[in-house]
Amino acid sequence: MKRCTTDNIVRQTVVVLLVFCASLQPISAQQKIELVFGLYTTDKPTVLVKTFRPLLSAIETALTLKLGKPVDIKLQISRSYEEGVAELVNGDVDFSRFGAASYVTAIKQNPRLRILALDSKNGKQTTRGVICVAESSPYSKVSELKGVRFAFGNQASTIGRYLSQAYLLKHGVASTDLASFEYLDRHDRVGHAVAHGSFDAGALKESTFNKLKKKGLPLRSLATFDNVNKPWIASADMSDELFEALRSVMFALDAPDAFRQLDQKQFVPGSDADFEEIRAAITSNAEFFQSKRSPDTTVVLDGL
């Protein structure tokens, strides 16, 4: 009888120890928050990883301190603009960074998406696009770009298509006035194509233009135009608590080296109303195509 009692005590002690040990398990094994951040290929995937990983790591650290739980953010790069939009709209990623036109497309498909913040280099909500030519080009202004071969970016790009085509049309150049035009998918490809003479002119974001110039590519800017900074957008499935915590962390983030990789300095607030001009450019885009030519018949180049 005594032995039975001793056995019971031993068993109870083992149970208590197991429960105690379980309570000592790392929080990461019990409460880890795993998030997926989505991008689409505006540049080479290797460049995107190098650019965004430091900033995502800084956000991870700050959000871990904010929530008192380990946070792990995985970077997922989609193969196209359309795939990237679909992943956010469908909740396959937790938050993404898009161009303005892609945001307009995404919010139309899922109105429950919410803007976390906008990129910013100087505290402002806008950045710029560039229409460029080679340094040796005879052209000095956009209105002279009739009869040229023009390189646009992705067919869903804000700068690479919608705003640049609106700018051309505003200065008297429609698709019918061009000798030819093609969509090269990425901003860096546009810059290389113009610098190497494959095209006479092209449209790309200013940050990529500046990087290519620093690398020695012979490019010259003909004109610049404003664009809303890229928004960071939360999935419709993100909880209000996590949304507010993430926003708070992003606005307070002190990570100059990480921001520098992105050619930015901080995050600033943004709202859906900031994108009305982009909506107008998308809506009126058909006016650029006043001929037998259509954007659906252009060739997408994989080279350069």
Closest Cα partner for 132 from 219, 198, 196, 45?
A: 219
pLDDT at 169: 96
Q: Are residues 148 and 211 in the same domain?
A: yes
What is d(CA 175, CA 126) in angstroms, rounded to the nearest whole number? 27
pLDDT at 30: 52
pLDDT at 298 over 90: no
Closest Cα partner for 161 from 143, 175, 144?
A: 175
pLDDT digits (tens, 9 = 90+) for 161-191: 999 999 999 999 999 999 999 999 999 999 9
CA angle 101, 82, 167 (to 5 degrees): 30
In a domain, 4, yes or no: no
What is d(CA 200, CA 178) in angstroms, rounded to the nearest whole number? 10
* DSSP code, position 300: B
Length of the chain: 304
In a domain, 184, yes or no: yes
Q: What is the pTM of this model?
A: 0.72
Q: Are residues 100 and 163 in the same domain?
A: no
pLDDT, mean of residues 95-112? 95
Q: Are residues 100 and 202 in the same domain?
A: no
What is d(CA 110, CA 274) in angstroms, rounded to the nearest whole number? 18
pLDDT at 2 over 70: no
In a domain, 21, yes or no: no
pLDDT at 299 over 80: no
pLDDT at 10 over 50: no
Q: How many domains does the chain have?
A: 2
Q: Are residues 250 and 113 in the same domain?
A: yes
pLDDT digits (tens, 9 = 90+) for 48-68: 999 999 999 999 999 999 999
In a domain, 200, yes or no: yes
Q: Are residues 149 and 181 in the same domain?
A: yes
Q: Are residues 82 and 208 in the same domain?
A: no
Q: Are residues 113 and 42 in the same domain?
A: yes
Q: Are residues 59 and 133 in the same domain?
A: no
Which CATH number is 177's domain given?
3.40.190.10
pLDDT at 244 over 60: yes
Strand 219-228 with 126-134, pairing: antiparallel
pLDDT at 263: 86
Q: Are residues 176 and 243 in the same domain?
A: no
CA-to-CA separations, 18 to 9, 15, 254, 302, in angstroms, rounded:
14, 5, 42, 59
Output the average pLDDT for the chain. Answer: 88
Span of 87-101, 229-243, 290-304 with lowest mean pLDDT: 290-304
pLDDT at 297 over 60: no
Q: Are residues 195 and 48 in the same domain?
A: no
Percent of the chain with pLDDT over 90: 78
Strand 114-120 with 231-234, pairing: antiparallel
Q: Are residues 86 and 216 in the same domain?
A: no
In a domain, 163, yes or no: yes
In a domain, 9, yes or no: no
Q: Are residues 169 and 288 in the same domain?
A: yes
Give residue 9's pLDDT band: very low, low, confident or very high (50, 70, 90): very low
DSSP per-residue letters across 29-74 = HHH-EEEEEEEE-SS-HHHHHHHHHHHHHHHHHHHHHHHTS-EEEE
In a domain, 292, yes or no: yes
What is d(CA 157, CA 204) in angstroms, rounded to the nearest whole number? 10
CA angle 193, 102, 156 (to 5 degrees): 35
* Chain centroid, CA 181 distance in Å: 25
Q: What residues make up the domain containing 179?
A: 126-228+280-297
pLDDT at 287: 96
pLDDT at 6 over 70: no
In a domain, 3, yes or no: no
In the chain, the amino acid numbered 120 is: S
Give residue 220's pLDDT band: very low, low, confident or very high (50, 70, 90): very high
pLDDT at 14: 41
What is d(CA 259, CA 257) in angstroms, rounded to the nearest whole number? 6
More confident residue, 54 or 43: 54
